[in-house]
Structure 1
Amino acid sequence: MDKLKAILANNKLLAKIGITLLILFIFRILTWVPIPLLNVKQITSLIADNSFLAILDNFSGNALGRFSLMAMGISPYITASIVVQLLQMDIVPKLKEWSEQGEMGKRKLNKLTRILGLVLSFIQALVFIIGMDDHGSIFAVDIINYSFFYYIFMALIVAGGTAIAMWLADLITRYGVGNGGSMLIVAGIITSLPAMIRTLWTKYIETGGAGNIVLFIVIILLYVAILVAVTYLELAKRKVPIQYANRRPGQGPTDSNLPIKLNTAGVIPVIFASTILSIPLSIVGFFGSKSGSGVGYWFDQIFNYQKPFGFVIYMFLILVFSFFYSFLMLSPEQVSENLSKSNAYIPGVRPGGETENYISRLLFKITLLGTTYLMLLAALPILTAIVFKFTPQEAQVITLGGTSLLIVVGVALETANQILTEATEQEYEGIF
C-alpha cells in the first residue's frame, strides 16, 4: 500500500505511465489501419490454415491477420537486435569493436539494428504477399496485368509500418516506462487473450454440457496456476556471496552477492528455435503442398514442432540456445576479470582461473535447471492441446504457457521494477 501511495504521489512517474498508455493506444489504432487494394477476408482465411502465421498473428495482436499497417509490427526489429547482439561476439570483428566504443559505438549498433530491422520487415512482407497471392488473389479489386511493382509497393508500406513501430517503441523507452519494443509485443499478446476466452466459452459453455463447464473452469485455473508458477520461477535466482578485500568501514559494504537467475537466457532461446523452424515451414506452406509424400510433406514433418520429429528438434534447439545465450549473457571469464579489478572474491575460491571455473560450473548447473523449465514451458501449449483435444484452429488461439506467457511475465516484472525504483528515488530526493 505504501508503494502504491509513493507511485500516486510521483507526478513525473504518473506522466510517464500516461505517455506509455497513450502510445500503446495509438499503436493499437494503427493495427486497424488497412493497406489499400487487399482482400482482408482472403488473407485471414489463408493465415488460419498456416500454424506458424497464426502464431505470429497472435503476437501482432491480429494485425497480421488484418494485414494492416502494423502487419509485421516490431518483430523484425527484435529479430535484428538479437542477430546484431550475437554478431558482436567475435563473429564480426567490426561490430565487436563498435560494442567497445562506448556511446558512439552504441549509436552505430542501434542504427545498424534499425536498418536490418527494416530490411527484414520488407523481405518478410514481400515473401508473405507473394506467397498469399500464389494461393489465390489477395487483391480486393481486379487488377489487369499487375506487375511485380505492386508486391514491392505493398511490402514498402508494411516496412513503413515497422519504421513507425520502432519510432513508437523508442518514444516509450525515452519518455515512458519499460522497454518500448517489449511493451509493443506485450500489447499485441494481451489483445489475443479475449479471443482465447471467447473460444473456450464457445467450446465448453455454449455448445457443451455440465461436464464441459467443469473443463472450462479447470482450464482457466490451470492458466492462472501456470502464470503464478512462471512468475515465481522468473524471480528465482542463486546469490553467490562476494567479499571485498582492503575495504575499510565507511567505504561501502565489505560483502555483496552475484545474482544468477534460474532462466538467465530469458525467452530468446525459444524465439530462436521457433524462428529457425518457421522459415522453411512458412516458405513451403506458401509455395508447396503439405499432403502426400513430396518435399512440402517432409518439411512439415521435420520442421513443424507440433509433429513428433519436429517437436524433438524444437526441444533440442531450445537446449542448445539456452546454454549458448546464458554463457553469452553471463561470461564467467568476464565476471572473474571484473571481480579481480574490483578487489573482490568469492569466499573459499581463489581469484583468477579458479573463480572462472567455479562460476562456469555453477552457471552450467543453474542453466540445466532453467533450460528444463524453459523446455517444459515451451512444450505446454502442444501438450495441453493433446490432453484437451483442441482442434488445430483452437490450439492456435488457446495457448496455455509458451513463449507469449513468458514474454508477458518478464516484461511485467521488468516494468514493475522500474516503476518502483523511480517511485523510491523521489522519496529519497524528498529526504535530501
Structure 2
Amino acid sequence: MITFLKEVFKKGELRRKVVFTLGMLFVFRLGAAITIPYINADAISQSATSSGIFGIMNMLGGGTLERFSLFSLGVSPYITASIIIELLSMDVIPTLARWQKEGNVGKKKKDKVTRYLTLFLAAIQGGSLTYAFDKGYGILTSSKPWIYVYVVVVMAAGSMFAMWIGDRITIKGVGNGTSLLIFTGIVANLPNQFITTYDTMVSYKTTYTAVTSILWYILFVLAYLAIMIFVVYSEGAVRKIPIFYATNTMTVMHTKEDTHMPIKINSSSVIPVIFAASVLAAPRTIISFMSSTKTTQMIDDILNYQKPVGFILYVLMIVFFTFFYCNLQIDAKKISEDLKKSGAAIPDIRPGTDTKKYIGTVLNRITVVGALFLTIIAAIPIIVPVVWTATSSNALSLGGTGLIIVAGVALETIRQIRSILTRKEYHGYIRK
C-alpha cells in the first residue's frame, strides 16, 4: 500500500488529479456539515431518517438528510434523472433514441436534458421533504411562505452544485465523481457507526459482562470484515467469453486468457436493491404522514420488508430489477453487431443472431448468480438482528447497499489509478 501511494504521488499529472479529487470531496463534506438556515435539525427524529425512502436518501448522502444540510439531497436527483433519460432513450422517445446513436454530440444533448430534469426533480424532492418533515416534526423556525421557498431553493441549488462537483471530479480528477460523492458520504459515517455499535453492545456492569460483550463486539467486527471480503470478491467476479479475430489472409485464434469479453457477475451493481427498497418504502412513507387506520396499518405491514410478507416481496423485486437492469445495461444485439463489424467472433458460434442468443443466454445465467448475491447482501441487515439480538438494524445498516457501493467504487477507482500508472510507465519506456 505504501509503495502504491508513493507511485501515485510520484507522477505529476496523477498527483494533481488525486489532490484535485480530494479537494472537491472536502468541499462536499464541508457543505454536508452545514445545516440550511431556518432549519431546526434537532427536531428531526432519528428514526425518521433511518428507515423507508428517507433512510435510503440519508445513506446515499452520508447523513446529510438527517442534518438537512446544504447537500441534503446529494446526487440522488441526478441519479434518478439519469436513469429516467436512459430508459426513455430505449426507443420510447424518438428524439432521445436518435441522440443515443449520435455519439458525443448526442451525449452532450442528453446531458443537457438530464441536468434540466435534475433541477426539476431536486425542486420537487426538496419541496416534498421540507413539507413532510415540517408537518411531522416542525423543522422550520418560522411558518412564513418565503422561508419555505428559501429552503427549497437552497436544497435544489445544493443538489445542482453536488452534481457539478461530481462532473468536475470525473473530468479533472480520478474515478467517477458521482459515485465518489456517495462513497465519501457512506465512509464518513463508518467510524461513528462502529462507535455507536460499541456503545450499544459493550457493557461494564461486571467484569464477566465486560469481557463477554467485548468478545461479542470483536466477533461483530470479524463478521463485518467477512461480509466485506465476500462483497469485494463478488464485485470482481466476471464471466469471460473467449473472442477470436479474423483477417483477410488468416484467422488468428487467441486463447481465453489472451482475448476475452468480460461480463460482470453483478453488472447491475446496487441499483436493483435501491429500486426494490424505494418501491416498498415510498407508499409507507406517504401513509406515515396520514392518520393511522386499519387500512394504513395493513399496507404498512405488507410493505415492511422486516416482516415475512414484505421480505418476500423485497427479494422478488430485487431479482426482477436485477434481470431488468442487467439486460438494460448489456445489449446483446449491439454487442453481436459490434463484434461482427470488427471481424471478431466467439469460437463455435456463428456471427449475428447466434452470437446474440449466446450472449443473452450467458447473461441470463450469470444474472441468476448476481441476483442471489444481491439478495444475500440485502438480507443481511434484516436477518442478522433477528438471529443475533446483540446487534441492531442500525449497526448493520451498511451491510446492504452501502457495502456494495463502497466496494465497487473503491475497486473501480484503484483500477483507474493503476491504469494511469501503467500508461505513464509505458510512455516513459517509449521515450527511452
Whether TM exceeds 0.5 here: the answer is yes
Q: Distance in 2 between matches of 1:77 and 1:5?
A: 35
- Deviation at residue 318 of structure 1 after TM alignment: 1.1
- Deviation at residue 32 of structure 1 after TM alignment: 1.8
Aligned-partner residue type, residue 61 of structure 1: G
The one of 368, 393, 396 equivalent to 1:395 is 393
Q: Distance in 1 between matches of 2:59 and 2:332?
A: 37
Aligned-partner residue type, residue 38 of structure 1: I
| Counterpart position of 1:349 | 349
| Counterpart position of 1:229 | 230
| Counterpart position of 2:386 | 386
Residue-by-residue CA offset, 1:229-266 (whole Å, 9 max, x unaligned)? 11111111111111112266899979721111111211
| Counterpart position of 1:311 | 311
Report if aligned partners of 2:381, 2:397 keep a CA contact under 8 Å in 1: yes
TM-score by length of 2: 0.92
Q: Distance in 2 between matches of 1:187 and 1:49?
A: 18
| Counterpart position of 2:64 | 63
Flag the 1:210–1:55 CA change in 2: closer, same or farther, 3 A. farther
- Tell me if 1:37 matches 2:34: no
| Counterpart position of 1:419 | 417
- Deviation at residue 102 of structure 1 after TM alignment: 1.5
Q: Distance in 2 between matches of 1:285 and 1:49?
A: 14
| Counterpart position of 2:376 | 376
Aligned-partner residue type, residue 396 of structure 1: N
- Deviation at residue 294 of structure 1 after TM alignment: 3.0
Residue-by-residue CA offset, 1:113-155 (whole Å, 9 max, x unaligned)? 1121222221112111111222242223x55xx34x4333321
| Counterpart position of 1:81 | 82
Report if aligned partners of 1:6, 1:427 keep a CA contact under 8 Å in 2: no
Q: Which range moved further: 123-132 or 416-425?
A: 123-132
Q: Distance in 1 between matches of 2:56 and 2:355?
A: 43
Aligned-partner residue type, residue 346 of structure 1: I
| Counterpart position of 1:158 | 155
| Counterpart position of 2:335 | 335
- Deviation at residue 54 of structure 1 after TM alignment: 3.3
1:241-252 equivalences in 2 (<5 Å): 241-246=242-247
Residue-by-residue CA offset, 1:152-181 (whole Å, 9 max, x unaligned)? 332111001101101111111111111110
Q: Which range moved further: 47-56 or 323-332?
A: 47-56
* DSSP-derived class of the 1:244 partner: strand
Aligned-partner residue type, residue 62 of structure 1: G
1:18-417 equivalences in 2 (<5 Å): 18-45=19-46, 47=48, 50-140=51-141, 142-143=142-143, 146-147=144-145, 149-206=146-203, 209-246=210-247, 256-289=259-292, 293-295=294-296, 297-389=297-389, 394-399=392-397, 401-417=399-415
Flag the 1:248–1:431 CA change in 2: closer, same or farther, 3 A. farther
Where in structure 2 are there 5+ consecutive unaligned residues? Answer: none
* DSSP-derived class of the 2:243 partner: strand
How many residue pairs are counted as aligned between the two chains? 423
- Deviation at residue 378 of structure 1 after TM alignment: 1.1
- Deviation at residue 287 of structure 1 after TM alignment: 3.4
Q: Which range moved further: 158-167 or 272-281?
A: 272-281
Q: Distance in 2 between matches of 1:355 and 1:107?
A: 32
TM-score by length of 1: 0.92
Report if aligned partners of 1:377, 1:402 keep a CA contact under 8 Å in 2: yes
Report if aligned partners of 2:245, 2:252 keep a CA contact under 8 Å in 1: no
Percent identity over the alignment? 40
Aligned-partner residue type, residue 173 of structure 2: G
Q: Distance in 2 between matches of 1:349 and 1:242?
A: 10
Flag the 1:133–1:323 CA change in 2: closer, same or farther, 3 A. same
Aligned-partner residue type, residue 350 of structure 2: R
Q: Distance in 2 between matches of 1:136 and 1:373?
A: 38
Q: Distance in 1 between matches of 2:50 and 2:250?
A: 67
Residue-by-residue CA offset, 1:323-350 (whole Å, 9 max, x unaligned)? 1111222222112111111221111112
Q: Distance in 1 between matches of 2:123 and 2:395?
A: 27
Q: Distance in 1 between matches of 2:12 and 2:389?
A: 50
Q: Distance in 2 between matches of 1:154 and 1:25?
A: 23
Flag the 1:424–1:48 CA change in 2: closer, same or farther, 3 A. closer
- Deviation at residue 46 of structure 1 after TM alignment: 6.3
Aligned-partner residue type, residue 399 of structure 1: S
Q: Distance in 1 between matches of 2:390 and 2:123?
A: 34
Q: Distance in 1 between matches of 2:72 and 2:285?
A: 16
Report if aligned partners of 2:57, 2:76 keep a CA contact under 8 Å in 1: no
Report if aligned partners of 2:21, 2:174 keep a CA contact under 8 Å in 1: yes
Flag the 1:361–1:28 CA change in 2: closer, same or farther, 3 A. same
Report if aligned partners of 1:131, 1:287 keep a CA contact under 8 Å in 2: no
Report if aligned partners of 2:99, 2:106 keep a CA contact under 8 Å in 1: yes
What is the aligned-residue RMSD (CA, Å)? Answer: 2.3
Aligned-partner residue type, residue 396 of structure 2: I
Report if aligned partners of 1:50, 1:285 keep a CA contact under 8 Å in 2: no
Report if aligned partners of 2:183, 2:409 keep a CA contact under 8 Å in 1: yes
Q: Distance in 1 between matches of 2:368 and 2:302?
A: 25
* DSSP-derived class of the 1:174 partner: helix
Flag the 1:388–1:52 CA change in 2: closer, same or farther, 3 A. farther
Q: Distance in 1 between matches of 2:147 and 2:218?
A: 49
* DSSP-derived class of the 2:350 partner: coil
Flag the 1:210–1:6 CA change in 2: closer, same or farther, 3 A. closer
